[in-house]
Amino acid sequence: AIHYADVSFVMGVTQLLYGITQPLWGALALKRSNTLVLCIGTVLFLAGLIFTPFCRSVLTLFLTFGIAL
């Protein structure tokens, strides 16, 4: 079972990863195009939304909710 503390930890790591990778996504948008970054973000977000309910461990929750969303 996944406990509330595990979900809170994953959410904290998500915010940390978001802050760290935001400049990288911005640089990619400047180098390639805004549309590419928007499409990648949309695909990752949808994958996270689809697969999050199927998580049975903290690792899968981290991969779907923490990274994809």
The model's confidence at residue 57, banded by pLDDT at 50, 70 and 90, is very high
Query: Is a pLDDT exceeding 80 seen at residue 37?
Result: yes
pLDDT at 68 over 90: no
- Chain center to CA of 28: 17
Predicted TM-score (pTM) above 0.95: no
Mean pLDDT of the chain: 91
Angle at 45 between CA 38 and CA 41, to 5 degrees: 20
Q: Residue 44: is its pLDDT beyond 80? A: yes
